[in-house]
Amino acid sequence: MPSPRTLNLEPQTSLPPCPHFGSCGGCQLQHLTYAAQLRNKATQLHALLEATGLALPELQLHPSPPLAYRNRIRLTLGEVDGQLRAGYLTNQQPTFLPITQCPIAAPILWRATESLLDLLNADPALWLRNPRITPDQLELFATADEWCLQFTLYLRAAGRSLPQQFAAAFAALCESLLARIPQLTGAGISLLPTLSTQRSRRTEVPRPGPAWGSPGLNYTIAPLEPRTPNFEPQTYWVPRTSFFQANRFLLPELLALVTHNYTGQSAFDLYAGVGLFSRALATRFTHVTAVEIAEPSFTALAATKLSNLCAVKATTLDFLRAAVLQRDRPSLIVLDPPRSGAGSEVCALLARIAAPTLIYVSCSPETLPADLVILVASGYTLAELHLFDLFPQTTHFETVAVLTR
């Protein structure tokens, strides 16, 4: 019989912190202790990469506070018993599930949601019974310290524009919300087509509607002691509807790992977004090229007032094709592709450019292995491997692979 020292006596399960666990379907790991969640994710990543036959360095884990970490949430809106409610679409059919709380969200986000719903429900003729519009989604975004807040109200609209009365009504709505939530700095309406079976956030392109206040916010990533000593705070202009990483606690550590230990003449930041990595790299490299195709992220990136940061509006694939022809060879390349991964052609072009250091930030452990196989076969060595738990309580996580040659 094994001695007590060899037994794993640490509890594996935990009481889910959210009353909607199971019904919601969005936070699948709440029934596990946080330590068990980390082990499961590490095991999954190691198994996927080990199957490739690559020589793997020791996996370094970067845990997050497990609750109240999200600085951005996007909720579905629906009418229940004559009242507009916020919630999520479950995976079953899908079905609208109204919620009373969201423990993974920064507290300001849910307080603002409740206040906004109160105001919308107070004027049902305009917001609930109006044949021209149907409230569909609500997105909220706050700074890490919860001092500034933005929201976007998505409406299903019968026409391509709203009657003029909506601009004044929306401004009045925002002023009323400001009286309750003084952190509110800006808001906007986005118009979606009428609801169909093809409903999808990935394919529907919203049209801008009335706006109020600032079109975005200044987001500061400050040091996280003691994890990021000597880390210089970075401030980003983030337009209301552009992508930005959603874990307010781990961003300093992620930014420090990717940028803090590297200097040189030039660096590429591919899939740059609003410049999460570019701005920090610009303090350490003589010249930084940041590549982004999506709006409004590129506009924010291009507006960065740094003389040594060049924003390029192009797909990463097109940019790398040109870079190969021009024989560009930066000291460092950072890439943070979407869930589909970089892909074989991008990896082949990266191999031809052959930057001494390549940092691959991945949000998909399923697509990462194939890309790493191509890069290692071209002469790179997988020097470091990091798991950033940007999404506690869920099955998702971020991986950072550092490759050298």
Of the options 2.40.50.1070, 3.40.47.10, 1.10.10.60, 2.40.50.140, the CATH number for the domain spanning 72-214:
2.40.50.1070
- What pLDDT score does 24 carry? 85
Domain 72-214 matches domain 220-404 at the CATH topology level: no
- What pLDDT score does 364 carry? 96
Query: For residue 50, what are the contacts with CB-CB under 8 A and spacing of at least 6?
Result: 56
Measured at the CA of 360, the angle between CA 359 and CA 362, to 5 degrees, comes to 150
- What pLDDT score does 121 carry? 98
- What pLDDT score does 16 carry? 92
Strands ordered across the beta sheet of 332-335: 59-62, 381-388, 398-404, 357-362, 332-335, 264-270, 285-292, 309-313
Architecture of domain 220-404: 3-Layer(aba) Sandwich (3.40)
How far apart are alpha carbons 256 and 390 in whole angstroms? 15
What is Dmax (Cα atoms) for the chain? 78
Residue-level pLDDT, tens digit, the chain, 405 residues = 333 333 354 668 889 999 999 888 889 999 999 999 999 999 999 999 999 999 999 999 999 999 999 999 999 999 999 999 999 988 766 789 999 999 999 999 999 999 999 999 999 999 999 988 999 999 999 999 999 999 999 999 887 778 888 899 999 999 999 999 999 999 999 999 876 555 555 567 889 999 999 999 999 999 887 777 778 889 999 999 898 999 999 999 999 999 988 999 999 999 999 999 999 999 999 999 999 999 999 999 999 889 999 999 999 999 999 999 998 899 999 999 999 999 999 999 999 999 999 999 999 999 999 999 999 999 999 999 999 999 999 999 999 999 999
- What pLDDT score does 260 carry? 87
Question: Residue ranges of the domains in the chain?
Answer: 72-214, 220-404
- What pLDDT score does 198 carry? 54
Provide the angle, in degrees to the nearest 10, between the axes of the packed helices 34-50 and 368-377. Answer: 40
How far apart are alpha carbons 141 and 216 in whole angstroms? 9
- What pLDDT score does 7 carry? 38
133-142 and 234-239: which strand pairing? unpaired
- What pLDDT score does 93 carry? 66
User: 149 vs 71, 152, 347, CA distance in Å?
Assistant: 9, 11, 38
- What pLDDT score does 5 carry? 37
Query: For residue 183, what are the contacts with CB-CB under 8 A and spacing of at least 6?
Result: 108, 112, 142, 146, 147, 148, 149
DSSP one-letter code for 370:
H
Residue 79 class from Cβ within 10 Å (0-12 exposed, 13-18 middle, 19+ buried)? middle
How far apart are alpha carbons 52 and 382 in whole angstroms? 13
**AA letter at 146:** E
